Amino acid sequence: MRTYIVLDLEWNQSPIGKEGAVEAIPFEIIEIGAVKLDENLEYMSKFHEFISPVVYNDIHHRIYELVHIDINYLRDKGKKFLSVIGKFKQWCYMEGQEPMFCTWGSMDLSELQRNMAYHKQENFFEYPLFYYDIQKLFTLDKCEDPKERLPLEKAVRFLGLPIKGEFHHALDDAYYTSLLFSKINFEALKVYKSLDLYRSPDSKEEEIYVKFPEYAKYVSRGFSSREVLMEDKTVKDMLCCKCNRMLRKKVRWFVDSQKNYYCIAQCPEHGYVRGKIRIRNKQSKGYYAIKTMRLVGKKELDFIKTKKEQLRLRRKNT
């Protein structure tokens, strides 16, 4: 049976700022809250634990202002990370249940896996890890600007939902997120799964290609440098998300000042397709590409053409 695990984490960070930060674990999880829903988004059960911190020996003042939990409380009430994550795994993967994880925003699953790696806990999530970013689905359903991202509290107030607990407590936030989840038109938005890239592809076989109604996404394996990456044929190829045709480019790949790459290709049947490549550092070392190929109109073609020309002129003049 499909279940939805609506997850929320609270984490701490170095109380003295960047100098005190541990690179492998900049955010140490101190609380896990989750609500399990059935396939009809009806409440099934909940999970809640505090974690006794071992990396940072005090709560950062900003975090304290949000969560109102002090270090002594955590030392007293919190359990060891490995014991909590073990219980959490059992609760998520009960016999006959296939969990789909849901979070408000895109950070929680990555940070959870980073904490797991730090504590040498085997990564039990499926690969590739798809999840629902309820914040994104909420925007697609309720907001005009598709890039808008409301904080959880604002979204709850936006819908005029009753406020029963405090915000920035993991279980309350998971509960609010599950409530918002049940208020959106999920059937219509179901296809918009998000992809957690804490683990990116290590080989050609692990590379990821996903199709959505208006765009497709490709995630490459790792390359030793940005230059080598941008010479790879699969990275540079453009496909139509509707018909899978290999497309001819109208505007060839170029890089902008934010180091993102753009191009425009054309499908004889479905029109212009804009390519965008973002290059990310790989967890181990090297770089990987996230390419989106999105159907666009003539306006976007002109915009990209102009952008390329402006960048060319700027480079010439400097």
Which residues form the interface with Zn ion (CB under 5 A)? 240, 242-243, 245, 267, 269-270
Strand order across the 215-219 sheet: 208-211, 215-219, 287-296, 271-281, 261-267, 248-255
Residue 218: CB minimum distance to Zn ion, A: 16
Residue nearer to Zn ion on the CB measure, 159 or 246 = 246
Nearer to Zn ion, 216 or 229 (CB): 216
Cα gap 37→6, rounded to integer Å: 8
C-alpha to C-alpha distance for 165 and 178, rounded to whole angstroms: 14
Residue 265: CB atoms within 10 Å: 21
User: In the complex with Zn ion, which residue's Cβ is closer, 84 or 241?
Assistant: 241
The least CB distance from residue 299 to Zn ion, in Å, is 19
The distance of closest approach from Cβ of residue 250 to Zn ion in the complex, given in angstroms and rounded to an integer, is 14
Residue 13, token pair as written in the block: 């960070």
Closest C-alpha among 230, 232, 233 to residue 262 = 230
Q: In the complex, what is the shortest distance from the CB of residue 272 to Zn ion, in angstroms, rounded to a whole number?
A: 11
Q: How far is the CB of 269 from Zn ion (least distance, A)?
A: 5
Contact 144, 158 (CB under 8 A): no
For residues 121 and 126, what is the distance between their CA atoms, to the nearest angstrom? 15
Q: Which is nearer to Zn ion, 246 or 313 (CB)?
A: 246
Q: Determine the Cα angle at 266 with ends 263 and 271, to 5°.
A: 120
Q: Which residue is nearest to Zn ion (CB)?
A: 240
Residue (219 or 293) nearer to Zn ion, CB: 293
CB of 245 to Zn ion, least distance (A): 5
**Closest distance of CB 29 from Zn ion, Å:** 44
For Zn ion, the closer of residues 169 and 274 by Cβ is 274
Nearer CB in complex with Zn ion: 193/245: 245
* 279 touches 305 (CB < 8 A): no
